[in-house]
Copies of this chain bind each other. A is one copy, B any other.
Amino acid sequence: MTHCILPSVKPLDSTVFAANRQRVQTLSPLVHCMTNDVVQEITANVLLSIGASPAMVVAKEESGTFAAISSALLINIGTPRSDILEAMHCAVDAANTHNVPWVLDPVAAGVIAWRDGVIHSFLEKHPACVRGNASEIRALAGVGSGGKGVDSLDSSESALEAAVKLAKDYQTLVCVTGESDFATDAERIVSVKGGTAEATLVVGTGCSLSAMVAAYLAKADDPLLAVASACAHAKAAQEKALETSKGPGSFKVAYIDALHAI
């Protein structure tokens, strides 16, 4: 990859966040979640806390029908298996037919070749947004250093160029998250600062952020700003949670409380 001149990075405006957060609360989007075995419960609770309506429909006999009537769809490749992958493709195809926005969470991209093939089979179907950590986004763009299991070893800034390339190559929004979060459509980059490192000690904070991104994309005027608003919601809740938590257990509880309070 030759180095290109990146768009300038602009912070998300707080009034834009407020408008997007209000829209999610009012709309209560039905988010069809097809996610991994580990984060099912926290994903549902995070969506309920922000005022969305989660539904996990995973059989191939009904995933397409349900995706078609949902407000948004989440595809998370954390624990892929042949049966769920077939059902996920049914859902994605139905979502594309019915203009339902869908988010791809490419968990642990860059670690195992078979999984990378699985992720690319979805990437080629035009997700509205790809949300991942720096290692995952770099790997997808072909400049990856590889992660350690599901955890990123790179800073999110280090993946900015990869994010822009990925957004351009696949005509999708890309959201790379970490100490700072960035969302890009290849022409603009919006940043969200804040948050806390404690979130990395709770499984599913990243995966459930992808579900929040899906919720925020439902009927969004400016999808890029909607994606960044989901990140801003999560980061603000993390900061609020840190005020009262005493460790990873109580941080998780306070995070769910804070998502609801914001």
Contacts and interface: CB of A to CB of B under 8 A. Distances in A.
A247 interface: yes
What copy number does this chain have within its complex?
3
A53 B203 CA distance: 10
A115 B79 contact: no
Nearest to A30: B149
**What bracket does the count of chain A residues touching chain B fall in?**
35 or more
A248 to B, nearest CB: 5
A58 B250 CA distance: 29
Contacts of A203: 41, 44-45, 48, 54
Interface string A224-255: 00000000000000000000011111101111
Interface string A43-70: 0110011000111111101100110001
A169 interface: no
A39 interface: yes
Contacts of A178: none
Interface of A is mostly: mixed
Contact of A149 (B55, B108, B261): B55
Given A41-B203, A81-B58, A114-B61, A53 B249 contact: no
Contacts of A260: 201, 247-249
A180 interface: no
A148 B30 contact: yes
A82 B48 CA distance: 28
A183 B256 CA distance: 33
Contacts of A66: 111-112
A135 to B, nearest CB: 13
Contact of A55 (B56, B150, B254): B150
Interface of A: 30, 36-42, 44-45, 48-49, 53-59, 61-62, 65-66, 70, 78-83, 108, 111-112, 114-115, 148-151, 200-204, 245-250, 252-258, 260-261
30 contacts: A30-B148, A37-B37, A37-B58, A41-B41, A41-B203, A41-B204, A44-B204, A45-B202, A45-B249, A45-B252, A48-B200, A48-B201, A54-B149, A54-B203, A55-B149, A56-B78, A57-B79, A58-B79, A58-B81, A62-B112, A62-B114, A65-B112, A247-B260, A248-B256, A249-B254, A249-B255, A250-B256, A252-B253, A252-B256, A253-B253
